[in-house]
Chain A
């Protein structure tokens, strides 16, 4: 008999999958010492880690003099932004916390545990030993406001959807107004007082937000059948992508004034922003184009067959799908841009990196390069990692890749 040994399952009988149980030793054996060459590799890597980490940790804990960071914390964060106007930056942060809390409640209502974990970050910042009392209060407030936004979203998810979209769209202009000021409500703060992490963030945010519509237009232009539009888009994209960002930043500093009417002077920060936008738009265009090309031809045809014209087809059918698909890529571009903005230090702006060199020029902190550069590297890493983690969650929540 062929299937003498085959067990017959009665209808409806379901077996649970076998469970795998590991002991610590079992795990070690499976993952680190399963064969002799794995064992060798494990030992070698452990040795490498030891010789790298031991002196590093010893230096961080015993030799390094972190006073330079503590004393200059405000410079690193906001540069020369006037101290009596700092509440505006806090206000912008609290609005961000509220929006984020609301968005989390509406779009990721099930991810409570991660939400709580994220809430710990501002509280941890509030607990840092070396920050001032105002900052401490404000970080606690930040967590509180995020919690309020979240509670509001959980309480009225349907009704809060519209305000959330409005907040997301309005946040960027509000941010710029808060930071630069509007007379007579808020005192103007000239851009040459912006600095540190604030400037780094602003450059990246402005770069992505403004280059987004430009990138969409360029991507559409590249696909256009109108020869002039097509040619212009292709030339722009290929030209910019073929040039390093530093070059564009220098050009923006030196060349931009040539195109402006005489007498109109724009400051360094705006010039750098223009350079970054010009640069980011070309990459944005290519990202969006990837999204556009991934939409099957049948979608265009179905829209045309219904009588929608080319513009309506783009607006209602193609762009919404294409942009949803490229959100993770755009977040990736944002992270890259966030780090790339450090190049503005070369054209003399006081972003995070630029501030670092001014701090190092302070007579009492001469020779503290290691501490300063390690600190700003840590800031870059924390932000980049947090953003890429968030984008992975976002990708899952949006169901990108599923139809």
Chain B
């Protein structure tokens, strides 16, 4: 009988005790997780949004997080690059513990790319400027290098001809692909996707999912909040079902789809898989 709720093997101390250069090596080899969440709690006022989340993600894994709205899944993924602050527990990303220390936060944000539900492209900048802004000003690349990398990424997401347009001139699917290219331009180690297809018209969902599947197959570490179960089945290594701020059940897509253990998981899956 498998356990439905993930038990995390790694403790925060195991990572933090190691000297920094050893951490990177162990994460690279897959001995230590690249993302570790240990007993993470968060409150909005009196409302307990996250109630003891444990999760470990190893390099190259694709994690799908799903669950009803208000279950805390978006909040959780946003704690990983500190867009939301957690109030208890530990989050260690790429060997760096997230705390109030602003330098740590900025370091982690450089290593994690994020794609939002509402795309959040910068409307006053062209597609090219959207993508090259952070590499030029954060990574300090020369403009030519940044533009070269941006062009490669635009080709990879299939819209090199849109480079000089403004976001407002693109369709939703194209905007989201630009947003993915923008996040990738920083060459992050981890990509976070917060419901990337929820704001898209049905005929545009596929073009974004195709890009994400290609990215997953290229070995990117990905945490994806989504209800696209086809995507999960195709590329996820682990799935986590969130409800009421807790992980109710986790497992491989095989286990979750063919043999869900918890009633709440069964009910939710029956509602979204028609």
Contact = CB atoms under 8 A, between A and B. Distances in A.
Contact of A307 (B116, B121, B122, B138): B138
Contacts of A301: 83, 116, 120
A312 interface: yes
Nearest to A315: B137
A266 B189 CA distance: 61
Given A299-B120, A299-B122, A312-B137, A307 B110 contact: yes
Interface string A299-311: 1011111111100
Interface stretch (A173-181, A197-205, A316-324): A316-324
B183 interface: yes
Given A316-B133, A316-B137, A321-B123, A309 B116 contact: no
A285 to B, nearest CB: 22
A317 B83 contact: no
Contacts of B174: none
A298 interface: yes
Contact of B122 (A302, A305, A324): A302
A297 to B, nearest CB: 9
A309 B168 contact: no
Nearest to B135: A306
A308 B81 contact: no
A301 B117 CA distance: 12
Interface string B95-118: 000000000001001101110101
A102 to B, nearest CB: 23
A402 B114 CA distance: 26
Interface string B150-188: 000000000000000000100000000001001100100
Contacts of A305: 81, 83, 109, 112-114, 116, 183
Interface in A373-402: 402
B123 A307 contact: no
What range describes how many residues of B lie at the interface? 20 to 34
A306 B124 contact: no
A14 B186 CA distance: 50
Interface in A317-365: 317, 320-321, 324
A403 interface: yes
A302 to B, nearest CB: 4
B186 A307 contact: yes
Given A305-B81, A403-B168, A317 B122 contact: yes
A324 B124 contact: yes
Interface of B: 81, 83, 106, 109-110, 112-114, 116, 118, 120-124, 133-134, 137-138, 168, 179, 182-183, 186
Interface of A: 296, 298-299, 301-309, 312, 316-317, 320-321, 324, 402-403
15 contacts: A298-B120, A301-B83, A302-B114, A302-B121, A302-B122, A304-B83, A304-B109, A305-B83, A306-B183, A306-B186, A307-B109, A307-B110, A308-B137, A308-B138, A316-B133
